[in-house]
Amino acid sequence: MQMTFRWYGEGNDSVTLKQIRQIPGVKGVVWALHDVPVGEVWPVHRIEEVKKQADQYGLNIEVVESVNIHEDIKLGLDTRDRYIDAYKETLENLSHFGVKVVCYNFMPVFDWLRTDLFKEMEDGSTALFFDAKKVLSLTPEQVVKNMEENANDFTLPGWEPERLKDLKHLFAQYQGVTENDLLQNLMYFLNEIIPVAEKCGIKMAIHPDDPAFSVFGLPRIVKNKEDIQRLLSAADSPSNGLTFCSGSLGSNRDNDLIDIVTSFVDRIPFAHVRNVKHLENGSFIETSHRTADGSINVTGIVTALYDNGFEGYIRPDHGRHIWDEVCRPGYGLYDRALGGMYLQGIWDANELLKNKPAK
């Protein structure tokens, strides 16, 4: 297991590389060029700049999250080949600087969705919250406005203002697009991309839908074990992998997360681990990483990764906002650092049990 920590870049994060370096066990940052418009090639000099910044603190940049997919690719429009060619060039550029894994998603319109960015919990901390009842009364425009007004002036991944400025047009484009249509468009993308990824030594790792069920009638194709099996089988290559995200898959109570880990561990180059607590009516709130604080068996997940020989990258995913920290929603330093130590503690405990002398 290789511990990493997400970082949004100098001037775009409340967390610094110096702080990340001081979290025990963290060897690398999970990063992206968030200001490069979706569909454009990531310039070599910008990638080199990030590597130099990370090198100063002894951190690697081997995991990218995310090289986002242009909406024309998801929709299967005639213009998609141009954007796929740009994606290939970006992969080639990244490979020159040691990138091994590229996380991406194929979610229409919204990369992820919550109704409240700073929902107060019993202990006074706040966390990301999905109110299943509330979302039924909101329009997509209201959701976007809420995100923009409550993000503490930080950019939000997957909520690029230039892309979402005309939501009515975006939703109109998806009228009549079925899950099968979206799946076929993903297959087209993978058939083009995977040979390039293989040549570059990069593992593509698709992120599950967040939440793992349809919202606003949009199609979802990475929401459960059956979906994952279909995607991995369609392009049977080590470069076609899964980002295992316990919070996304765990938003759907029907998913057996430990079974998913056990079934696909050899195709999981990257894992996000966070905890969520299920409430009534399908609502959920993100909690600390500690198993006892939520509905996700974090201990069981990390143990399953350990028992099945996981050698990929992992990061503590969304945390609470604690100790009056002002930060990007879900991405403060303090609770994620605590989460990282919790995950490593579970891993170390398994190591100790494995090597414990027999009486």
Q: What is the pLDDT of residue 152?
A: 84
Q: Clarify whether 327 is annotated catalytic.
A: no
Q: What is the pLDDT of residue 346?
A: 98
Active-site option among 13, 103, 207, 209:
207
Of the chain, the end-to-end C-alpha distance in Å amounts to: 29
Question: Which residues contact residue 231 at a Cβ distance below 8 angstroms, ignoring those fewer than 6 apart?
Answer: 183, 186, 190, 206, 221, 222, 240, 242
Q: Clarify whether 331 is annotated catalytic.
A: yes
Asked if 107 contacts 220 with a C-beta cutoff of 8 angstroms, the reply is yes
Active-site option among 306, 331, 334, 342:
331
Active-site option among 272, 306, 327, 335:
272
* Per-residue pLDDT of the chain in tens (359 residues, 90 and over written 9): 999 999 999 999 999 999 999 999 999 999 999 999 999 999 999 999 999 999 999 999 999 999 999 999 999 999 999 999 999 999 999 999 999 999 999 999 988 999 999 999 999 999 999 999 999 898 988 888 888 888 888 888 778 777 777 888 889 999 999 999 999 999 999 999 999 999 999 999 999 999 999 999 999 999 999 999 999 998 999 999 999 999 999 999 999 999 999 999 999 999 999 999 999 889 999 999 999 999 999 999 999 999 999 999 999 999 999 999 999 999 999 999 999 999 999 999 999 998 877 66
CA dihedral 206, 210, 211, 217 (to 10 degrees): -90
Q: What is the pLDDT of residue 72?
A: 96
Active-site option among 72, 103, 174, 245:
245
Q: Clarify whether 34 is annotated catalytic.
A: no
Q: What is the pLDDT of residue 148?
A: 83
φ/ψ region of 91 (left if φ > 0, alpha if ψ in -120 to 50, else beta) reads alpha
Closest by CA position to 238, among listed 205, 189, 273: 205
For residue 126, give the 3-state DSSP assignment.
Answer: strand
State both tokens at 305.
Answer: 């990764």
Active-site option among 111, 318, 334, 342:
318
CATH superfamily placement of domain 2-352: Divalent-metal-dependent TIM barrel enzymes (3.20.20.150)
Name the residue ranges covered by the structural domains of the chain.
2-352
Q: What is the pLDDT of residue 45?
A: 98
Active-site option among 72, 111, 209, 317:
317
Q: Clarify whether 318 is annotated catalytic.
A: yes
Closest by CA position to 102, among listed 190, 32, 165: 32
Q: Clarify whether 96 is annotated catalytic.
A: no
